Structures are given as structure tokens and as C-alpha cells.
């Protein structure tokens, strides 16, 4: 039950019922494709006649196409309906500190081309670089230089204001109050969507993997990488909060005397469980000397430390110090997940990041800390699922930013 916001509402018009029903048809086709009209009518509990004009509109607009592939027992071949992806393209950009990615995808999330580039130091340089890269990618890989490109989705490692598309703060890039959307739009004249990485990852699950989330309407995506980010889906909708910072569990302090965090405070969940924390822990165990937990020092020494991938590899090879470091990180991850379960009771939590490659060492301590940190029984039904292809989900999330508005429930009332 949603209360009508009397300061921000949308009135129903004469075409509203038809628009709503057409959107439902489109979503059913997308989820069950290829699907016949008879099956659609059955799933909607309506007569074929009710369905016919709605399907016709979707076919005429080019969003849905018909193909006659299914053979039935009697040999008749009913026309099947599918969502059209060919020729409907999206540019996906994943901005990270260090190296970023750009990809060309169809609206279904099938990647046609992808490249990496060094992340520029300033947002202006990034906008300029993106303008050149997008034009080049479309010229190389898209028919007619990008005709039919639906827009550009940009995923950033920081908080984003959904309405204005402004980056509020990205601690790892050192960027504040950046209007990247306007800067890129001005250069390319295309629709640009900007979102924070964990929210985009959750959107990728929600919009591009209907099977994965069909039975789970509330879930969380936790990315454990350079930092920790959380995207929350509640009743099929991204949770944003009044000022777009919902889900910032990464900077909840779990230990006020813990290691220093990039945000300037101590013992944040992120400072305890991000990749650098795991690497520090591993190096400490190996050398017996504490690593000074200071971001600048850590960056300066970075080249002499093994990367997280190496720690994971050594753990899987049976090295005790590496296993210990991962197990301790897992305990911290579980403590943070307990906050999420207590706040939102999600049906599922996806954990993405490099360390999930070593899930065999993480699963039990994560579960244990999660159960310990929540009231008895509350975490029992929350599945914790590893996702080792975080980079993939960031790009898919960028695709979802562009495509989701075309499938979303209409906001009326
Ligand atoms: Zn912090």
C-alpha cells in the first residue's frame, strides 16, 4: 500500500489503462519469450481479443517481433512473440579508480564490443574522453554510426542523485558534486543515465535476469571491491532514500578504534572488509608487522603488495596466511550483512567481487557472522549468493539504466 504523495503525483488519463496493460504484456513477453499469444492470454487471464490490440501496438512500435518457430503436436506453428534486441544498442560505461571500461551492448545485455581505458583525473577529461570513445565505438561496430542507439549508461563508484544525475561524492575518485550527465549529453546529444555501481549491479539483476529475481522481490547486491557498496531492491524497486544515500552501509562504523577509512572515520565496514583490508591483513600475517592503515600510504606501497587476486589464488593453493585473511574478511562481511538483514529482510543477498572466487572459504564464516549479528530466525531465509563477475554486472547495470525505464511500471497516482 503506497500513500499518494500530494505534492508529487501523476494523474491517470484516458489512455492510462491501456498503457499499463501494454507494459504488462511487454514484461510478460520479455520474461517468457518466445511466447505465443494463447499462452500470454492464459497468463493474463484475458481473452485473445483483449490482447490483440496491445500486442499489435508493441509489434508496430518495433519493440516486439513475431517469429514462427514453435511446432506443436498437431504440426501447426503458432507465431511466437519476442522482444527485439537487434539494432537496439546501448553504450555502457563502468568508471572505476584506475581503469575503466566502455562497451557496446544490445538492449538485452549481449555485449558486442568492449574496451578499457585509464580513468582520467578530472570529470571534464572523462566527459571529453567518453565523447570520443562513444563516437568511435558506434562508428566501428554499429550500423549507420549508431542509429538506434538508445542511450549511454554510466556507472560510478559513488553516490548519485537520481533526479539530477549528479555524482554527490565518490571518495575513491576524490570527486564531489559532478554533473557528468550534462557534460556528456552536451557533447553527444544522446540520453545519458548515471548511477552508483552497486545500485546498477542490483538493477542488472532486477532487469536483465528475470529468472534470477522472479521469486524474490526484495534483495540486496553487495559489491566488495575497492570499497563496499550496497544496492537495495525493495518490492521490485530500487531503494533511494530522501537524499539518495540509502544503502550506504559501507560507511557504517563497526569498530570505532578500527582502521582508518577513506571517508576519514574509523572502522567503517568498508575499511574492515574491502580488498585493501584483506591484502593488508594477509601481509600482516606474513610479516608479523602491522600495516599502517592509511589510504595514501597504502597506495604508495601498492606495487610491493600482492593484489587481491593473488591472495585469493594463494588461499586456493592452500596457503594458511591467505586463507586466514579471507576468513577474517568473511566474518566482517557477515557482520555488515547482518545490518542489511536487520534493516530490510531481503530474500537474497548477492555478494560480488574478486574475493568471491574463494567462496569455499567465505561461505561458512559469512553465514556464522550473519546469524550471530541478527535476532534468532531472521537471517535463516536470506540466501547469500556469490557473484564473481562484478565487472560484468557493472556493465550490465549500465545497460539496465538505459533499458529499464522502457519496462518499468507506470507511476500513476
Ligand atoms: Zn568510511
What are the structural domains of the chain? Answer: 16-83 (1.10.10.10), 89-199+395-406 (3.30.420.40), 206-389 (3.30.420.40)
pLDDT (mean) for 238-249: 84
| Interval between CA 263 and ligand 1 midpoint (Å) | 4
Mean of per-residue pLDDT scores for the chain: 89
Question: Cis peptide leading into 34, omega within 30 of 0?
Answer: yes
| pTM of the predicted protein model | 0.86
pLDDT (mean) for 342-346: 92
pLDDT (mean) for 207-216: 75
| Interval between CA 404 and ligand 1 midpoint (Å) | 31
Per-residue model confidence (pLDDT) at position 164: 86
SS3 labels along 46-69: CCHHHHHHHHHHHHHCCCEEEECC
| Interval between CA 260 and ligand 1 midpoint (Å) | 8
Which range among 101-115, 152-166, 229-243 has the greatest average pLDDT? 101-115
pLDDT band at 212 (very low <50, low <70, confident <90, very high): low
| Interval between CA 16 and ligand 1 midpoint (Å) | 45
| Alpha helix ranges (H) inside 12-113 | 16-32, 37-44, 48-60
| Interval between CA 265 and ligand 1 midpoint (Å) | 6
Q: Which of 267, 269, 270, 251 is nearest to 259 (CA)?
A: 267
Q: What percent of the chain has pLDDT over 70?
A: 93
| Interval between CA 353 and ligand 1 midpoint (Å) | 19
Which of 31-45, 73-87, 90-104 has the weakest average pLDDT? Answer: 73-87
Per-residue model confidence (pLDDT) at position 213: 66
Q: Do residues 134 and 118 touch, judged by C-beta distance below 8 A?
A: no
| Interval between CA 225 and ligand 1 midpoint (Å) | 14
Say which residue, 292 or 91, is predicted with more confidence: 91
Q: Do residues 252 and 383 touch, judged by C-beta distance below 8 A?
A: no
Say which residue, 349 or 248, is predicted with more confidence: 349
pLDDT (mean) for 74-79: 72
Check whether 175 has a pLDDT greater than 80: yes
Check whether 192 has a pLDDT greater than 90: yes
Per-residue model confidence (pLDDT) at position 293: 55
pLDDT (mean) for 48-59: 94
Per-residue model confidence (pLDDT) at position 299: 47
The per-residue pLDDT for range 265-282, each reduced to its tens digit, is 999 999 999 999 999 999
| Interval between CA 81 and ligand 1 midpoint (Å) | 49
| Interval between CA 403 and ligand 1 midpoint (Å) | 32
Per-residue model confidence (pLDDT) at position 303: 57
| Interval between CA 274 and ligand 1 midpoint (Å) | 11
| Interval between CA 250 and ligand 1 midpoint (Å) | 7
pLDDT band at 73 (very low <50, low <70, confident <90, very high): low
| Interval between CA 272 and ligand 1 midpoint (Å) | 10
The per-residue pLDDT for range 352-389, each reduced to its tens digit, is 999 999 999 999 999 999 999 998 887 778 999 998 77
pLDDT (mean) for 167-174: 87
Per-residue model confidence (pLDDT) at position 147: 75
For the chain, helix, strand, coil in percent to 5 are 45, 20, 35
| Interval between CA 297 and ligand 1 midpoint (Å) | 17
Per-residue model confidence (pLDDT) at position 296: 43
| Interval between CA 380 and ligand 1 midpoint (Å) | 29
| Interval between CA 273 and ligand 1 midpoint (Å) | 11
| Alpha helix ranges (H) inside 173-260 | 180-188, 197-208, 210-213
pLDDT (mean) for 136-158: 87
Cα-atom radius of gyration of the chain, to the nearest Å?
23
Q: Do residues 231 and 201 touch, judged by C-beta distance below 8 A?
A: yes
SS3 labels along 224-293: ECCCEEEEEEECCEECCCCCCCCCCHHHCECCCCCCECCCCCECEHHHHHCHHHHHHHHHHHHHCCCCCC
| Interval between CA 267 and ligand 1 midpoint (Å) | 7
| Interval between CA 258 and ligand 1 midpoint (Å) | 11
| Interval between CA 227 and ligand 1 midpoint (Å) | 9
Distance in angstroms (rounded) separating the CA atoms of residues 55 and 193: 29
Amino acid at each position: 500500500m503506497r500513500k499518494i504523495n500530494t505534492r508529487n503525483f501523476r494523474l491517470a488519463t484516458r489512455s492510462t489503462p491501456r498503457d499499463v496493460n501494454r507494459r504488462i504484456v511487454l514484461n510478460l513477453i520479455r520474461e517468457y519469450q518466445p511466447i505465443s499469444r494463447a499462452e500470454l492470454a492464459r497468463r493474463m487471464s484475458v481473452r485473445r481479443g483483449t490482447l490483440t490490440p496491445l500486442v499489435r501496438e508493441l509489434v508496430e512500435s518495433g519493440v516486439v517481433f513475431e517469429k514462427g518457430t514453435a511446432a506443436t503436436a498437431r504440426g501447426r506453428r503458432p507465431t511466437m512473440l519476442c522482444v527485439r534486441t537487434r539494432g537496439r544498442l546501448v553504450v555502457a560505461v563502468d568508471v572505476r579508480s584506475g581503469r575503466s571500461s566502455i562497451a557496446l551492448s544490445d538492449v538485452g545485455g549481449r555485449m558486442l564490443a568492449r574496451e578499457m581505458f585509464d580513468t582520467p583525473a578530472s570529470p571534464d577529461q572523462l566527459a571529453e574522453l567518453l565523447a570520443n570513445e562513444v563516437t568511435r565505438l558506434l562508428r566501428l561496430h554499429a550500423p549507420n554510426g549508431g542509429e538506434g542507439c538508445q542511450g549511454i549508461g554510466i556507472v560510478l563508484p559513488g553516490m548519485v542523485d537520481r533526479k539530477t544525475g549528479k555524482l554527490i561524492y565518490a571518495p575513491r575518485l576524490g570527486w564531489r558534486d559532478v554533473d557528468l550527465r550534462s557534460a556528456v549529453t552536451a557533447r553527444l546529444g544522446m540520453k545519458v543515465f548515471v548511477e552508483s555501481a552497486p545500485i546498477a549491479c542490483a538493477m542488472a539483476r532486477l532487469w536483465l535476469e528475470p529468472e534470477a529475481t522472479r521469486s524474490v522481490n526484495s534483495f540486496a547486491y553487495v559489491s566488495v571491491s575497492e570499497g563496499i557498496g550496497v544496492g537495495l531492491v525493495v518490492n521490485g524497486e530500487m531503494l533511494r532514500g530522501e537524499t539518495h544515500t540509502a544503502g550506504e552501509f559501507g560507511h557504517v562504523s563497526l569498530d570505532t578504534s578500527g582502521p582508518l577509512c577513506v571517508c576519514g572515520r574509523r572502522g567503517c565496514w568498508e575499511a574492515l572488509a574491502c580488498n585493501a583490508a584483506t591484502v593488508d591483513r594477509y601481509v600482516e600475517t606474513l610479516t608479523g608487522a602491522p600495516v599502517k592503515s592509511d589510504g595514501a600510504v597504502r597506495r604508495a606501497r601498492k606495487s610491493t603488495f600482492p593484489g587481491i587476486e593473488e591472495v585469493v589464488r594463494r588461499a586456493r593453493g592452500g596457503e594458511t596466511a591467505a586463507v586466514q585473511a579471507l576468513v577474517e574478511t568473511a566474518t566482517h562481511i557477515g557482520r555488515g550483512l547482518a545490518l542489511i538483514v536487520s534493516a530490510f529482510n531481503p530474500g537474497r543477498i548477492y555478494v560480488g567481487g574478486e574475493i568471491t572466487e574463494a567462496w569455499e572459504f567465505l561461505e561458512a564464516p559469512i553465514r556464522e557472522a550473519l546469524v550471530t549479528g541478527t535476532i534468532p530466525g531472521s537471517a535463516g531465509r536470506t540466501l547469500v549468493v556469490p557473484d564473481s563477475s562484478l565487472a560484468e554486472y557493472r556493465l550490465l547495470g549500465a545497460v539496465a539504466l538505459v533499458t529499464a525505464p522502457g519496462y518499468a511500471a507506470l507511476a500513476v497516482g
